[in-house]
């Protein structure tokens, strides 16, 4: 197929792969990027919030021509029971700034644009090409790849594995384990189209302002998971995701949860009269720090979702993918400039650099959180949201009951549900996981 040898092959053209390929191509390296989809982004799913800072580090002037939807001026967090939600809303005029901090995007369009930048930087990008094997020499060093196109081995000094969460290539090559169901969420998402003015009046927006809602509570029926509603220019993305192990345990279905979320009285009016034009499903790596596999070896590094680099607590993934891709590209370039071999020992530079970045620091900070939310999911996603909703209703409903009685009743309802010891234990566990 391709006879020449490349400085680097990048497998996958998502956020991580594009960042790695761009970083190396910008520095004059000979890069081949292989993507199984018809085009970059055709297979990729995201909510999607784009974090500008991480893209700016790759393409400082991205705002000039990137396909951006709305810049975010408002973030809502909802704790839901079946008929209500308790909300924390943060809106600030500060976000109507010259260079906004977060945007909504549509990945199919965004990834196509990102891939164009990679090609303009000089990388060879081949789509509709699935890498079927990482080829190793007799010492176990990765020396190239084989694809589903006719032809043999394509050689490179190093292979950047940016194949996303399922990571079949890496697991088949024995570089890491198959992601565990308790470390992986399955999310479904729909795009609801409606006129721009309808979105702006329903969500209190003007111009290109946007808002996002992150929702948790009884909508996940006691499973570890969340819902989201993100505003784009002419459509609203709405989705729901829970851990795969919880779906296995309960027999609930992702589309069943999403349907119920859409029917919730707080949600239904927001999407009323819209037309659904797209439906997608995708996995999300949610095991956090403890699920991160070996990140480098002889002739290879792994980046983005394939490396489990996803911060489920803060709902960040694409920025960790872009940053790990960029750092991998920079580390490889440094080694190449010093004429050093792409050995396991030398490629540990990637991990060293990643450890110093927010990617590993953030994941390390919340290392106990995924397990806590998983083992205590009934409390955090069912019991407490119901109790908080009841407490709020009691607080705002004026019915002649003396306040002191209401307060006693509220405290009793918490203690009956969890006991003092249970409440204390949950608070302690949460504080410890958050510290
Ligand atoms: C519903 C949902 C909502 C999300 N919302 C957000 C959000 O709002 N903000 C955020 O920051 N993150 C969000 N994420 C997470 C984010 O989408 C991911 O973290 C990010 O896409 C990871 O990028 P990646 O490049 O590692 O993987 P991907 O984007 O999955 O890219 C992997 C690429 O590799 C290709 N590939 C795979 N195997 C092969 C092979 N063998 N040969 C060739 N090509 C191959 C795939 O086709 C794909 O293009 C969300 C995820 C989901 C599912």
98-131 pLDDT, tens per residue?
999 999 999 999 999 999 999 999 999 999 999 9
- Quick one: what percent of the chain has pLDDT higher than 90? 87
- Under the banding of pLDDT at 50, 70 and 90, the label for residue 376 is confident
> Is the Cβ–Cβ distance between 129 and 34 less than 8 Å?
yes
Q: How far apart are CA 343 and CA 139, in angstroms?
A: 11
Q: How far apart are CA 217 and CA 381, in angstroms?
A: 4
- Measured from the CA of 16, which atom of ligand 1 is nearest? 25
Q: What is the pLDDT of residue 129?
A: 95
Q: Is residue 304 in contact with ligand 1, taking CB distance under 6 Å? A: yes
Q: What is the mean pLDDT of residues 303-317?
A: 95
366 Cβ neighbours under 8 A, 6+ residues apart: 288, 289, 311, 313, 433, 434
Q: How far apart are CA 176 and CA 110, in angstroms?
A: 30
- Quick one: what percent of the chain has pLDDT higher than 70? 100
* Whether pLDDT at 150 is above 90: no
Q: Is residue 305 in contact with ligand 1, taking CB distance under 6 Å? A: yes
Q: Is residue 240 in contact with ligand 1, taking CB distance under 6 Å? A: no
Q: How many whole angstroms from 334 Cα to the centroid of ligand 1? A: 27
Query: Which carries the bigger pLDDT value, residue 297 or residue 414?
Result: 297
* Whether pLDDT at 420 is above 90: no
Q: What is the pLDDT of residue 43?
A: 80
Q: How many whole angstroms from 112 Cα to the centroid of ligand 1? A: 14
CB atoms within 10 A of CB 257: 22
**Residue 153, SS3 per DSSP:** coil
Q: Is residue 217 in contact with ligand 1, taking CB distance under 6 Å? A: no
154-183 pLDDT, tens per residue?
999 999 999 999 989 999 999 999 999 999
Q: What is the pLDDT of residue 2?
A: 64
CA 90 from chain centre, in angstroms, equals 21
Report the sign of the C-alpha dihedral through residues 108, 113, 119, 121, in that order. Answer: negative
CB atoms within 10 A of CB 52: 18
Q: Is residue 147 in contact with ligand 1, taking CB distance under 6 Å? A: no
Report the sign of the C-alpha dihedral through residues 81, 82, 83, 85, in that order. Answer: positive
Report the sign of the C-alpha dihedral through residues 192, 54, 322, 358, in that order. Answer: negative
> Is the Cβ–Cβ distance between 287 and 180 less than 8 Å?
yes
- Mutate which of 9, 17, 106 for ligand 1 pocket (most atoms within 8 A of beta carbon): 17
42-65 pLDDT, tens per residue?
888 888 899 999 999 999 999 999
243-275 pLDDT, tens per residue?
999 999 999 999 999 999 999 999 999 999 999
Q: How many whole angstroms from 14 Cα to the centroid of ligand 1? A: 6
Q: Is residue 159 in contact with ligand 1, taking CB distance under 6 Å? A: no
Ligand 1, atom 30, residue with closest C-alpha: 164
- DSSP, res 44: -
- Under the banding of pLDDT at 50, 70 and 90, the label for residue 1 is low
Q: 24-38, 78-92, 144-158: which has the minimum mean pLDDT? A: 144-158
Q: What is the CA radius of gyration of the chain?
A: 23
Write the DSSP string, 299-339. Answer: TEEE-GGGGT--BTTTTB-HHHHHHHHHHHHHHHHHHHHTT
327-349 pLDDT, tens per residue?
999 999 999 999 999 999 999 99
Query: Which carries the bigger pLDDT value, residue 374 or residue 130?
Result: 130
Q: What is the pLDDT of residue 181?
A: 94
Consecutive H or E run containing 173 = none
Q: What is the mean pLDDT of residues 226-231?
A: 97
Q: What is the mean pLDDT of residues 411-424?
A: 88
- Measured from the CA of 49, which atom of ligand 1 is nearest? 8
Calculate the average pLDDT of the chain: 94
Q: What is the pLDDT of residue 285?
A: 96
Ligand 1, atom 52, residue with closest C-alpha: 46
- Mutate which of 42, 47, 213 for ligand 1 pocket (most atoms within 8 A of beta carbon): 47
Q: Is residue 287 in contact with ligand 1, taking CB distance under 6 Å? A: no
Residues in the chain: 435
Q: How far apart are CA 409 and CA 163, in angstroms?
A: 53
Q: How many whole angstroms from 253 Cα to the centroid of ligand 1? A: 22
Q: Is residue 326 in contact with ligand 1, taking CB distance under 6 Å? A: no
User: How many helices and strands (H and E) does the chain possess?
Assistant: 15, 17
Q: What is the mean pLDDT of residues 403-425?
A: 90
- DSSP, res 293: -
Q: How many whole angstroms from 93 Cα to the centroid of ligand 1? A: 31
Q: What is the mean pLDDT of residues 296-300?
A: 98
């Amino acid at each position: 197929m391709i006879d020449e040898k490349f400085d680097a092959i990048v497998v996958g053209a998502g956020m991580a792969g594009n960042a790695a390929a761009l970083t190396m191509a910008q520095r004059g390296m000979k890069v081949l990027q292989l993507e199984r989809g018809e085009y970059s982004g055709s297979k990729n799913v995201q909510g999607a919030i784009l974090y500008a800072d991480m893209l700016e580090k790759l393409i400082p002037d991205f705002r000039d021509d990137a396909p951006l939807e709305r810049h975010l001026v408002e973030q809502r967090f909802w704790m839901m029971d079946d008929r209500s939600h308790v909300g924390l809303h943060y809106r600030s005029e500060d976000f109507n700034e010259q260079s906004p901090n977060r945007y909504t995007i549509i990945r199919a369009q965004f990834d196509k644009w990102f891939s164009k930048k990679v090609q303009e930087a000089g990388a060879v990008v081949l789509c509709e090409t699935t890498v079927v094997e990482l080829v190793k020499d007799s010492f176990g060093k990765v020396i190239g790849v084989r694809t589903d196109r006719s032809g043999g081995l394509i050689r490179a000094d190093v292979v950047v594995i940016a194949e996303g969460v399922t990571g079949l290539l890496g697991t088949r090559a024995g570089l890491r384990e198959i992601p565990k169901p308790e470390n992986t969420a399955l999310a479904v998402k729909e795009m609801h189209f409606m006129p721009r003015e309808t979105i702006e009046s329903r969500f209190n927006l003007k111009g290109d302002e946007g808002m996002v809602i992150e929702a948790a509570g009884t909508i996940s029926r006691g499973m570890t998971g969340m819902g989201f509603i993100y505003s784009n220019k002419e459509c609203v993305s709405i989705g729901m995701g829970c851990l795969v192990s919880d779906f296995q345990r309960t027999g609930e279905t992702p589309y069943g949860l999403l349907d119920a979320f859409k029917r919730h009285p707080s949600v239904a009016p927001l999407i009323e009269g819209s037309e659904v034009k797209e439906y997608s499903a995708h996995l999300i790596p949610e095991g956090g720090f403890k699920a991160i596999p070996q990140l480098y070896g002889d002739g290879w590094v792994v980046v983005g979702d394939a490396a489990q680099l996803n911060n489920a607590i803060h709902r960040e993934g694409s920025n960790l993918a872009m940053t790990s891709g960029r750092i991998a590209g920079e580390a490889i370039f440094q080694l190449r400039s010093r004429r050093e071999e792409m050995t396991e020992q030398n490629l540990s530079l990637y991990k060293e650099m990643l450890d110093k970045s927010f990617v590993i620091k953030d994941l390390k900070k919340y290392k106990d959180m995924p397990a806590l939310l998983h083992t205590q999911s009934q409390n955090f996603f069912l019991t407490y949201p119901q109790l908080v909703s009841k407490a709020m209703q009691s607080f705002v409903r004026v019915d002649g009951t003396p306040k002191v009685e209401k307060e006693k009743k509220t405290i009793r309802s918490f203690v009956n549900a969890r006991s003092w010891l249970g409440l204390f234990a949950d608070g302690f566990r949460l504080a410890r996981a958050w510290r």
